[in-house]
Structure 1
Amino acid sequence: MKLTMKYIILYVNDFEKTMSFYKDILGLQIKMQQDTYVEFDTGVTTLSINTRKSVKEEIGLDVPELTSSTQTFEIAFVVEDVSATIEKLREQGVPIIKEPATKPWGQTVAYVADPDGHFIEICTLVE
């Protein structure tokens, strides 16, 4: 069996705030939008958001309300200059979770959070 990652969907509470974060602050282009479901163009794998309410009502998945900020995964974006990107995000009020650091394998990595507290890794390409 061969699996190919097509998209990741983040379930969010505040649709407008989260949409603005990914579109206006991170600068992602919208590929498609249907009500509260949005797909952003991020290359091979699409990043999508949808409200928890919509997922419950339209799809029937039992998605719990966000009662605490608990992360069990992260998404990552590759950039050329992690420090410059982090500074730009800091100026826009984005919470910086971890400052840029160079890992033993040579990759520079930093972490920020989106409006729902999802971890976002900002990193250089590992070759």
Structure 2
Amino acid sequence: MRRLDYTIWYVDDLPRSTAFYRDVVGLDVRKEGDGYVEFDLENTKFSLFDKAKLGELIGRPAGTAPCGEIGFIVDDVDAHADRLRAAGAPILTGPVDRPWRERTLHVADPDGNIVEFAQKL
């Protein structure tokens, strides 16, 4: 295996989560339909899928969030913190300088999944 192709969060309320990642995080929607929304990123696919439709897709329900974390590299984590606070995103930690030479900020999405913004130091 050489690279990660995609990440999909299974969400309780697809319109609410789409609005969070589009309007709060700042991602553009690339495609959507039938319980699926994919955002426009250059290096990987990041998508949301309606938990109510999981039976059709994989034959079983999803787990309980938070199940993981997705991270975005940004140029100015403090500017993102200001923008996220103004948008009402629940800040969990940061911005804080980490020993691994990143300045990080963590927020929770509407389903409780963790979203990290990291600036290389």
Question: Do the structures match in fold with TM over 0.5?
Answer: yes
Q: Partners of 1:63 and 1:3 in 2: how far apart?
A: 29
In the TM superposition, what are the counterparts of 1:1-127 in structure 2 within 5 Å? Answer: 2-56=1-55, 58-64=56-62, 66=64, 70-125=65-120
Number of residue pairs aligned between Structure 1 and Structure 2: 121
Change (3 A) 1:107 1:60: closer
Instruction: Please list every run of 5 or more consecutive structure 2 residues that lacks an aligned counterpart in the other structure.
Output: none
Query: How far is 1:65 from its partner?
Result: 6.5
TM-score, normalised by the number of residues in structure 1: 0.86
Unaligned regions of 5+ residues in structure 1, if any? none
Q: Does the 8 Å contact 1:52/1:65 carry over to 2?
A: no
Q: Deviations over 1:17-75 (max 9, x none)?
A: 1010111222211111122201101221110001111122x213312474xxx434210
Check conservation: 1:15, 1:36, Cα contact below 8 A: yes
Runs of 4+ off more than 3 Å: none
Match of 2:120, SS state, is: coil
Secondary structure in structure 2 of the residue aligned to 1:124? strand
